[in-house]
Amino acid sequence: MSQTTESKPQGERRGKPAPTYGGGRPDAKGGDRPRRRREPEEEVWVPKTILGQKVASGEISSLEEIIELGLRIQEAGIIKKLLPDLKSEVVDVGIIQKMTSNGQSTRFKAIVATGNENGYLGIGQGKSKQMRIAIEKATNAAYLNVNPIKLGCGSWECRCDQKHSVPFKVKGKGGSVTIEIIPAPRGLGLVAGGKIKRLLELAGLKDAWTTAKGSTPTMNSTSKAILDCLRQTFSQG
């Protein structure tokens, strides 16, 4: 009688389970090696405007100089060159749904804040069908909206010479939201809500009282109100 033998994988012949191969290479134990994640390469900034060429050549070396000359910043690379220590954070991400003649369309909306925690803050908004692109647009807009902020000590309880709060009381409005920032003595901290507190930290404030009125969960209006407040510290100072 003829006997038929079934062919088995090499691993099962030796009494071991056959290794499964995924995205990585198999290691010595038969498992998968994790793939190394490639970090995105930073693009080299090539200035496209006259202002960008002046900043790249060193003719203009500060953001305050650009503001005093009344020049318009059209490249995010200008801010990155002048302020290399800026940090970017996603403040809010939402979904925009709209009914059209072709059906329901969905888009993402992102709000990004950028600051160096030492007197500079910018907030931008971006929209796209992809969340990643919306965040990139918002980040680029935040760089273009970076404003200098004058820090100081305007509290009558402290009266020190350190830059830990605002120099005087400021009030700003964005949409239905009104925010007021009051100088506080050193060591008090920031008396504010979670996202508002983080925006003030990015700006460089360490001690302040805040009052807010309106629909503060709407971060689009709240972020505009905060930026309006902090702009006044530089313009009025």
79-86 long-range CB contacts below 8 Å, 24 or more apart?
A: 79/122, 79/143, 79/144, 79/146, 80/45, 80/143, 81/45, 81/55, 81/56, 82/55, 83/116, 83/120, 83/146, 85/116, 85/118, 86/114, 86/115, 86/116, 86/120, 86/143, 86/146
HEC profile for 16-48? CCCCCCCCCCECCCCCECCCCCCCCCCCCCCCC
Residue 46 has pLDDT above 90, yes or no: no
Say what the pLDDT of residue 27 is: 56
Is 101 among the domain residues? Answer: no
Is 193 among the domain residues? Answer: yes
* Mean pLDDT computed over every residue of the chain: 83
Residue 151 has pLDDT above 60, yes or no: yes
Residue 52: strand, helix, or coil: helix
Boundaries of domain holding 228: 170-235
Say what the pLDDT of residue 179 is: 94
More confident residue, 26 or 173: 173
Is 52 among the domain residues? Answer: yes
Is 67 among the domain residues? Answer: yes
54-65 pLDDT per residue, tens: 999 989 888 888
Is 97 among the domain residues? Answer: no
Domain count, the chain: 2
205-219 pLDDT per residue, tens: 999 999 999 988 889
More confident residue, 91 or 32: 91
Confidence band of 39 (pLDDT split at 50, 70, 90): very low
More confident residue, 21 or 164: 164
Is 26 among the domain residues? Answer: no
Is 129 among the domain residues? Answer: no
118-143 pLDDT per residue, tens: 899 999 999 999 999 999 999 999 99
Is 200 among the domain residues? Answer: yes
Last residue of one domain, picked from the residues 61, 82, 103:
82
Question: How far apart are the C-alpha atoms of 73 and 123, rounded to whole Å?
Answer: 15
Say what the pLDDT of residue 140 is: 94
Say what the pLDDT of residue 16 is: 53
Confidence band of 19 (pLDDT split at 50, 70, 90): low
- Weakest mean pLDDT among 6-15, 153-162, 185-194, 199-208: 6-15
Q: Give the CATH number for residue 198.
A: 3.30.230.10
Confidence band of 107 (pLDDT split at 50, 70, 90): very high
Quote the DSSP letter at residue 186: T
